[in-house]
Amino acid sequence: MNTELNKKFFSYVLPSILAFALSGVYTIVDGFFIGQSLGDTGLTAITLGYPISALVGAIGTGLGLSGAIRFTILSAQGEAKKRQECFSGTTLLMLVVAGLLTAILFAFADPILYLLGARGHMLTLCTAYARVIALGAVFQLLATGFVPFIRNMGGATVAMLAMVLGFVTNIVLDYAFVWVLSWGMAGAAWATIIGQAVTMVVAVIFFLVKKSGFRLPELRELCGLWKNVLIVSISPFGLTFSPIITMLFMNRFLLLYGDEQAVAVYGCIGYITAILYLLLQGVGDGSQPLISQYYGEDDRTSVQATRRLAYLTAAAITAVCMIGVYLARAKVGALFGASPEANAGVVRYLPFFLAPLLLLAFVRITTSYFYATEKNALSYLLVYAEPVCTLLMLLILPPLLKLTGVWLATPIAQVINFVIACVAKRRVDAKT
């Protein structure tokens, strides 16, 4: 049984890790091309504007993964009709949300970005990026939302292929739009949404081949499904977006206690650590279909065994990445075209963010386990404790330690969140 479970686990998790690794590189591609083209100014602009794109992707991930979890549980319970209705209803919900996001983000791009700290010429650059992202929100939201369904339908390799094709498209178009045609921030945004459109098209082809069909439940049942999906989606959305919430807080306090160069430094650090976070999410989301399936079958032994494998895999990946990034830290800033001064800041402060990564790995897998088994309250707690603790540390430390206090806020918050995760896991295990 253990050998069979191990094979099944890695058949889901390895493609998921690779897919999220590409997704992580996806997030730095725009930063690379913009940074090399516009230097520290471009890095600061893309750092301030990136949360708009990340918000759309996180909402898609939250809705899609929530629907896919319900889909898998219904499959394990033999509810074929309800399973199809779940897929169709979630797809309709994603389309409705995408329409709302396009309208809101396009109309209110300026005030939103102003609140995020963009001013003057920086605001102009960020708005050009955000409005294009808003126009393509439907592609990004469906691409990120469909991938969990593909994975939970047994197409983990197809999900990886869809993301690979989108990623390659993004790189080629970033080169063409940003470097060759000099479209700047808008060019990077067009490359992003076209790449996401490619991923979405691959997903649609997969569903057509699988003959997934489109069958909506009755209106009352549809409302109930949407309520359930929205409730569960808060956790995977937060898990994806919480680093961005932290980034928003950090940007504001770095501008308050430092300058635009400090934001550029954090942009470089944020891009690199984002890849590590997404690798951990790849482990968590890759193990989710199995955990949800065994949970639906009431097979507690297999649930625990799968979770244990997820912890070990996440710890191994994190340890390797910590060592590799630490050894290469002097080249991180140069990768994004940062100035020598900004690169020196990356070398100085990156270790602060590497130190608590093993603790973060434990928190991420525990959170994935909680929402995969519909323990929504606990998953909410772990997802949102980190940005809340970060904000508290930012209010406490910088008045005492100035700029150094800003850099220490996130690592200390992650240690606090680890303690919370240990207590929550122990209580759940005691009940089961």
User: pLDDT tens digits, residue range 170-199?
Assistant: 889 988 998 888 888 888 889 989 999 999
Cα 64 to Cα 172: distance, rounded to the nearest angstrom? 27
Q: Is the predicted pLDDT of residue 24 greater than 70, yes or no?
A: no
Our separate counts of H helices and E strands in the chain read 16, 0
**Identity (one letter) of the amino acid at 198?**
V
122: confidence class by pLDDT, cuts 50, 70, 90: confident
CA contacts within 13 A on the Cβ side of 213: 10
Cα 280 to Cα 292: distance, rounded to the nearest angstrom? 18
Tokens describing residue 132:
């294009």
Q: What is the pLDDT of residue 145?
A: 93
Q: Exposed, middle or buried, 357 (CB in 10 Å: 0-12/13-18/19+)?
A: buried
Q: What is the pLDDT of residue 308?
A: 94
- Whole-number average pLDDT of the chain: 87
Cα 200 to Cα 400: distance, rounded to the nearest angstrom? 48
Mean pLDDT calculated for residue range 375-383: 87
- 192-209: pLDDT as tens digits: 899 999 999 999 999 999
Q: What is the pLDDT of residue 46?
A: 75
Helix crossing, 260-296 with 137-152: angle to 10°?
40
Helix crossing, 403-431 with 357-372: angle to 10°?
40
Q: What is the pLDDT of residue 25?
A: 67
Q: Does the global pTM surpass 0.85?
A: no
The pLDDT > 70 percentage for the chain reads 97
Q: Is the predicted pLDDT of residue 28 greater than 70, yes or no?
A: no
| Range from 44-53, 111-120, 296-305 that averages highest in pLDDT | 296-305
Q: Exposed, middle or buried, 54 (CB in 10 Å: 0-12/13-18/19+)?
A: buried
Q: Is the predicted pLDDT of residue 1 greater than 60, yes or no?
A: no
Contact 154, 286 (CB under 8 A): no
**Which stretches of 136-259 are DSSP H helices?**
137-152, 156-174, 184-210, 219-257
Contact 292, 72 (CB under 8 A): yes
- DSSP state, residue 179: I
Mean pLDDT calculated for residue range 84-105: 94
- 275-316: pLDDT as tens digits: 888 888 889 888 888 898 888 888 888 999 999 999 999 999
Q: Is the predicted pLDDT of residue 419 greater than 90, yes or no?
A: yes
